[in-house]
Structure 1
Amino acid sequence: MADDSSRKRKVRGRKIASDRSDKQRRKAKKKLARKSSGSNAGNGDSPLSDPEEVAPEPFVETDAVASLRSRINGWLEADQPVHLIGPTGCGKTALALSAAAERGRPVVWLNGDESVDTAALVGDHAGGERYKEDDRFVSGVSKQTEIVRERWVDNPLSVAVREGATLVYNEFSRSDPSAHNVLLSVFEEGVLERPGKKGDDRSIDVHPEFRAILTSNDVEYAGVHRQQDALLDRFVGVHVDYYDGETEREIVRSHVSMSDEDVETIVDTTRALRDELDIVVGTRAAITAAKGLAVFDGSQNQNGHSENGQFDDELLTDVFTDVLAPKIAGEGPDDVSQLRTTIAESL
C-alpha cells in the first residue's frame, strides 16, 4: 500500500496553483469592495492607493517582524523619514508596504532607477490643451481666437505631499542623487518646489500627515548611488537583515504548502549556503527553491523516490543551483560548475 505522505505530495504543484488562485481571488474581492464603496472615485490615474490595497499578501508576522515594523512606525509617528537599508531578498519592500498600510493613510508607490529625474518625482508639462473662443461683439460679426494652454501633470512626490500620503520609495539609491534635491526642502522647510511649474502654485505646502519610507540595498551592490549627505542627514536609517530561522520558515510556509520537515530542510539549506557562498542568498531564494521542490520532488514521489522531509541531495543541489545561478550570470560555465560543487558539498 502506498505511503500516505507520498500520495499527498504528488499534488504539490496543484497546491501552489491553488494558493496563487486564492491570493488572486482575495485581491479581486478587495478591488471590488473598493469600487463598490467609491473610495477611489475621481482619482482617475492618480498614484494614490488605499492602504488595504498595498498591504502585502501573504505577510508573516512573527515577534521579530512585528518589533521591526513597530520601530519603523514609531519613527514615522515622530515625523522622521525612514530609510530601510539591507541586502537584497531580505524583505525590505514587504516590510515598508506593511508599515505604510498600518498607518491607514493613502499610499503612493515610487520605484527608483536611472531614469528617475526631478520631473519624474514632482511632475511636468504633458502637452497642451487647444481650444477656440468665439466673440460675437458686433451683431453679424464673429471673432474667433485660438488659445493653447499647457497642461501640468503632478507625479508621485507632489501627490503624496499634497494629500498627506505615505510615500514608499523603493530602490531609492538606484536613482541619480541630483533628482533628490527637491527632497531637501520637503523634509527641512515643509515645502515642495516644482521646477517648471509657473504661477502662484509653483510650490506646495507639505501636508502634516505626509511621511516617507525609502528602501535601498547596501552600498556595495551594483547600480547603487551614494546619495548626498545633506539629504541622508535628514533620514533615520533602519538596517534590515535576514530574519531568524523561525521567521524564514514561516515566510516559506506562507508561500508554499508543504510539510514542516520539508520547509525546515529548505530554510536550513538556504542559511547554510548564505554562510558558504560569496553571493547573496536571501529569503526570496528559499521561497523560489521551495516552489521548485514542490513540483520536482512531487514528480519524484510518484515513483516513491523520497520520503517526507528527506529531499534527494541531487535534487536539492539542482534546484538551488538553478535558483542561484542567475547571480553569477555571464561569469562563465566554469563558475556555474563551481557553484554547483559548493552547493553539493554544503549539503
Structure 2
Amino acid sequence: MADDSSRKRKVRGKKIASSRSSKEGRRAKKELARKSSSVGKKNGDSPLSDPDEVAPEPFVETDAVASLRGRINGWLQADQPVHLIGPTGCGKTALALSAAAERGRPVVWINGDESVDTAALVGANAGGESYKESDQFVSGVSKQTEIVRERWVDNPLSVAVREGATLVYNEFSRSDPSAHNVLLSVLEEGVLERPGKKGADRSIDVHPEFRMILTSNDVEYAGVHRQQDALLDRFVGVHIDYYDAETEREIVNSHVDLSEEDIETIVETTRALRDELDIVVGTRAAITAAKGLTVFDDGSENGEFKDELLTEVFMDVLAPKIAGEGPDDVAQLRSQIAEAL
C-alpha cells in the first residue's frame, strides 16, 4: 500500500368523559363511529401517497429507461401485476416508483422482510376504544354503561385494494411466502379477505384501478425466498439488468458534481470491475465511489485519478461484500481491483 504521507486523504384526554344525559351519550357514539371510519387517514398515518411525492429525485430519463418504464406501464394497463427482478443496485426500486408515479394514481409502499406476515399486509385489531354512557333516572339513581369497540387498522394491501392505488412492494421475495396467500384471491377473484376482521366487511372488493409492482433480487441472493408457483403464475416478470454505459454516466452525474471526464473514468472502472469480480458491482457502487472521489483529494484533474486512489476508494466501496471473510480474501480483492484498473 502506498505511503499515506505521499497521498494523504483530505475529507471535505382528554378521555371521553362519562355522559350525564342520553344526548351526550348519542354524541359520543357518533364521535366514536367517525373516528373508527377514519383510522389510518389522519395525523399522517395513511399509507397513501400522492404520485408526485413518490417520484424518485433525481431520476434519469434515457431511451433505455423510458423503454423499460413503457413496458411496465403497458403491462399495468393490461391489468397485470409486474414483478421486477434483477441484481442489487441496478435501479429496480427507482424504476418501480417512477412507473407508479406515471400512472397518476395514489401510491402505497411496503418493504418486504422476514417480519412481514398476513396481518402486516391486510391489517389487524389494534386494541379497543371505549366510552361511558350515563342515564339519570330519578334523583340519586343513575345507570352507567361502558361500551367497548375494537379498533381495526388497515395495512398497506387493504388500503391499496380499497382506494385503487398502485402498490409498490419492494423486496417482495424477502418476505415469507405464507404471507402472500391473501394475494391469490385478490388477483383471481378480485376480493381481499382480511383474517381477523369480523362482520360483513371482512372482505374488500378490489378497486378496478388497483395495480401492483413488485421488486426482487435474483434467487441466488441471501435472504430471498422462493415464492409459490400459483402466485408467480399470475405475475408478469420483467428482468432488469445494469444499464448501458451512457445511462450509467447520466445516473452518476445526477448524484454528484464532477466533470464529464471524471464520471466517465468512474463508470468505466465500475463496468470493468463488474466484468472481472465475482461480487456484485452495481450502479449504486459507481455512485458511492463518485461521492468518495469528490472528497478525497489527490490533486488529480479531469478524469486523471491516480490508480492508487481509485483502488482505495473502490476497495472501501466493495469491501462490505466480503465482510467476515479472511485477510487473504481482502488482499485478493485489492489485487483484483488494482489489476482491473
In the superposition, the TM-score normalised over structure 2's length comes to 0.87
Give the deviation of 1:257 after TM superposition.
1.1
**Counterpart AA for 1:114:** E
Please point out which of 300, 313, 338 is paired with 2:298.
300
Alignment-derived partner of residue 340 in structure 1: 334
2:119–2:155 contact (8 Å) kept in structure 1: yes
* 2:311 paired residue number: 317
Percent identity over the alignment?
88
State the distance in 1 between where 2:105 and 2:264 align.
Answer: 37
CA shift for structure 1 position 134 = 1.2
For the residue of structure 2 that corresponds to 1:180, the secondary structure is helix
How far apart, CA to CA, are the structure 1 residues paired with 2:168 and 2:95?
11
RMSD of equivalent CA atoms = 1.6
Gaps in structure 1 of 5+ consecutive residues: 1-11, 15-39
**How far apart are the structure 2 equivalents of 1:13 and 1:336?**
24
Q: Deviations over 1:81-105 (max 9, x none)?
A: 0000000000000000000000000
* 1:224–1:331 Cα change, 3 Å: same
Partner of 1:19: none
- After TM superposition, give the deviation of residue 148 of structure 1 in Å: 1.9
Gap change, CA 1:170 and 1:255, over 3 Å in 2 = same
The equivalences for 1:149-188 within 5 A come to 149-188=149-188
1:91 and 1:138 map into 2 onto residues whose CA distance is: 73
**Any idea what the Cα deviations from partners look like across 1:135-171, whole Å, max 9, x if unmatched?**
3345642111122221100000000000000000000
In the superposition, the TM-score normalised over structure 1's length comes to 0.86
CA distance in 1 between partners of 2:88 and 2:124 (Å) = 32
The 1-side partners of 2:115 and 2:193 are apart by: 20
Return closer, same or farther for 1:202/1:83 CA change in 2, 3 Å cut-off. Answer: same
CA drift of 1:307 comes to 2.9
AA aligned opposite 1:92: K
Match of 1:223 in 2: 223
Task: State the partner residue of 2:18.
Answer: none
Choose the corresponding residue for 1:331, options 316, 325, 328: 325
Question: Which secondary structure state, in structure 1, belongs to the residue aligned with residue 100 of structure 2?
Answer: helix
Q: Distance in 1 between matches of 2:213 and 2:339?
A: 41
- Say whether the 8 Å CA contact 2:88–2:282 is kept in structure 1: yes
2:71 aligned residue: 71
Work out which of the two has the higher radius of gyration on C-alpha atoms and give 1 or 2. 2
Question: Which amino acid letter does the alignment assign opposite residue 110 of structure 1?
Answer: I
1:308 partner SS = coil
- Residue of structure 1 in register with 2:81 after alignment: 81
Partner of 2:247: 247
Whether contact under 8 Å (2:311, 2:337) holds in the other structure is yes
Q: After superposition, give the CA deviation of every residue in 1:86-138 in whole Å (9 maximum; x if it has no partner).
A: 00000000000000000000000000000000000000010111221113345
Alignment of 1:1-347 (within 5 A): 42=42, 44-138=44-138, 140-296=140-296, 299-301=297-299, 306-347=300-341
> Which whole-Å CA distance do the structure 1 matches of 2:11 and 2:287 have between them?
14
